[in-house]
Amino acid sequence: MASELSGAGATVYFIGEPLDDDAPSSPYPYIHSKVAVKDDESVWIGSGNWKSSSHPTADYGGNREWGVIIDSSDVATMVLQRMAWDENPAHNHVLNYQSSMKPSGWATPVADTDPQPYGQYSPISGSFSGRILTCPDDCMEGLVATILSADESILLSLASFDLDWYWGWGENPVLEALEQKAGEGVKIHMIIDDSYSNDETREAVDLFNNEWNRSNGWDTAAVIISTSEDIYSLHNKGMIVDGDSVLISSINWNANSILRNREMGIVIDNSALSAIYTASWQEDWDRLDMTTDTDSDTLPDYWEVAHGLNRTNAFITDLTIGEEGIDSDNDGLINSLEFAYGGDPFLSDSDGDCIPDGKEAAWAMSQDGLSNDAKIQFAILAMNSQDADNNSENDGIQFDCGVNFVGSTSVINDSDDDGVVDADDQCPLTPAGTTVDIVGCAVNLDPDQDGDGIPDAVDECPDTPPQHRGFEGWMLRPAITRPGGKWDWRG
Q: pLDDT, tens digit, for every residue of 205-248?
A: 999 999 999 999 999 999 999 999 999 999 999 999 999 999 99
Q: Facing residues of 161 across strands?
A: 253
β-strand pairing of 187-192 with 220-224: parallel
Q: What is the pLDDT of residues 334-385, one digit of tens each?
A: 999 999 999 999 999 999 999 999 999 998 888 887 788 888 888 999 999 9
Last residue of a domain, one of 286, 319, 349: 286
Q: Treating both helix axes as pointing N-terminal to C-terminal, what angle do 139-148 and 173-183 enclose, rounded to 10 degrees?
A: 0
Instruction: Enter the pTM of the model.
Output: 0.81
Q: What's the pLDDT band for 310 if we cut at 50, 70, 90? A: very high
One domain, residues 153 and 266: yes
Last residue of a domain, one of 286, 316, 342: 286
427 lies in some domain: no
> Are 357 and 491 contained in the same domain?
no
Average pLDDT rounded to a whole number, residues 301-327: 90
Do 145 and 186 belong together in one domain? yes
Q: Is the peptide bond before 483 cis (omega within 30 degrees of 0)?
A: no
Looking up residue 270, the CATH number of its domain turns out to be: 3.30.870.10
16-49: pLDDT as tens digits: 777 666 767 788 888 999 999 999 999 999 999 9
Per DSSP bridges, beta strands 231-234 and 62-64 are: parallel
Q: Are residues 136 and 273 in the same domain?
A: yes
Count how many residues are written for the chain.
Answer: 491
261, 368, 372, 394 from 357: Cα distances, Å:
57, 20, 18, 15
**Contact (Cβ atoms closer than 8 angstroms) between residue 206 and residue 294:** no
Quick check: is 420 in a domain?
no
Whether residue 374 is contained in a domain is answered as yes
Check residue 466 and give its pLDDT. 57
- Give the per-residue pLDDT at 476: 35
**Domain span holding position 28:** 2-101
Pairing of strands 187-192, 153-158: parallel
Give the Å distances, CA to CA, from 185 to 152, 153, 161, 214, 243. Answer: 8, 9, 21, 14, 16
Examine residue 206 and state whether it is found in any structural domain, yes or no. Answer: yes
* pLDDT above 90 coverage of the chain, percent: 57
For residues 269 and 194, membership in a common domain is answered with: yes
One domain for residues 270 and 341: no
Are 145 and 185 found together in one domain?
Answer: yes
Q: Of the ranges 223-232, 455-464, 471-480, which one carries the lowest mean pLDDT score?
A: 471-480
The verdict on residue 262 lying in a domain is yes
Indicate the average pLDDT of the chain.
Answer: 86
Which carries the bigger pLDDT value, residue 5 or residue 273? 273
Same domain for 343 and 214: no
| Bridge partners, 71 (sequence order) | 42
**Could you tell me if 90 and 166 lie in one domain?**
no
* Pick from 304-313, 359-368, 399-408: least confident: 399-408
Asked whether residue 433 is domain-assigned, the answer is no
120-134 mean pLDDT: 91
8 inside domain:
yes
In a domain, 437, yes or no: no
Instruction: Encode pLDDT of 438-458 as tens digits.
Output: 777 887 766 677 776 676 666
Residues 210, 337, single domain; the answer is no
- Tell me the sheet residues that pair with 266: 132, 248
Do 57 and 158 fall within a single domain?
Answer: no
Does residue 99 have a pLDDT over 80? no
Q: Which of 412, 427, 461 is the last residue of a domain?
A: 412
CA 240 to chain centre: 23
Residues 70 and 22 in one domain: yes
pLDDT at 75 over 90: yes
Domains in the chain, number: 4
Q: For residue 317, is pLDDT > 90?
A: no
Q: What is the mean pLDDT of residues 313-320?
A: 80
